[in-house]
Amino acid sequence: MGIFDSIFRKKKDDLVAHTNDVSMQDMEKIQNSLQGKMDESVYNNTFNQACRLVPKGQYAEALAMFENVKANTADAHQKGNCDNQIGVCHFFMNDFEKAIEAYANSIKNGFDRSMADDNIWEACEKLMQRDHDKARWAKHYLEILPNGNYKGKAQKHLG
């Protein structure tokens, strides 16, 4: 198993970050190692600059950049990617409600539904722990994704 096998898991035809055991420093090292493999003009655009701030813990700065990119594009795919990253920033700033809202918006803008579903459930779980109210956040999850990947788990919290 290579280093990327432990960090990424295969999901359909996409690589999905799986960062439970990966530090922010490790994520930044990986990101920096990929820089040389990307066209300089693509890597240096505002979206990618913002992405490079996230592993550094500069969430507020990244958030402002993602919001700016989203406001200045008409492309739904780009808006969806921005919404997802806005959710990531809010998640790491422990504002899980805003993270959920951004992840839900990412679906509306065409971002990968399954990946956003995973993100929404993860944020709901954090809220369940924080508020000690599993039923409230399970219900909220089901309101957003009534047939989501975690429907069964959410329903168990309502029982």
Give the C-alpha separation, 153 to 135, whole Å.
11
The whole-angstrom separation of Cα 108 and Cα 27 is 28
pLDDT at 41: 45
pTM: 0.74
Domains contained in the chain, number: 1
Say how far apart CA 85 and CA 116 lie, in whole Å.
11
* CATH code of 102's domain: 1.25.40.10
Three-class DSSP category at 147: coil
Range of the domain at 111: 3-158
Instruction: State the pLDDT at residue 80.
Output: 95
- Residue 46 has a pLDDT of 87
Residue 18 phi/psi, 5-degree rounding, is: -125, 95
Name the CA radius of gyration of the chain, rounded: 16
Residues facing 11 on adjacent strands: 14
Residuewise pLDDT in 10s, the chain (159 residues) = 333 333 333 343 333 344 445 566 665 665 555 444 444 343 348 898 999 999 999 999 999 999 988 888 888 888 999 999 999 999 999 999 999 999 999 999 999 999 999 999 999 999 999 999 999 999 999 999 999 999 999 999 997
pLDDT of 11: 40
- Residue 64 has a pLDDT of 94
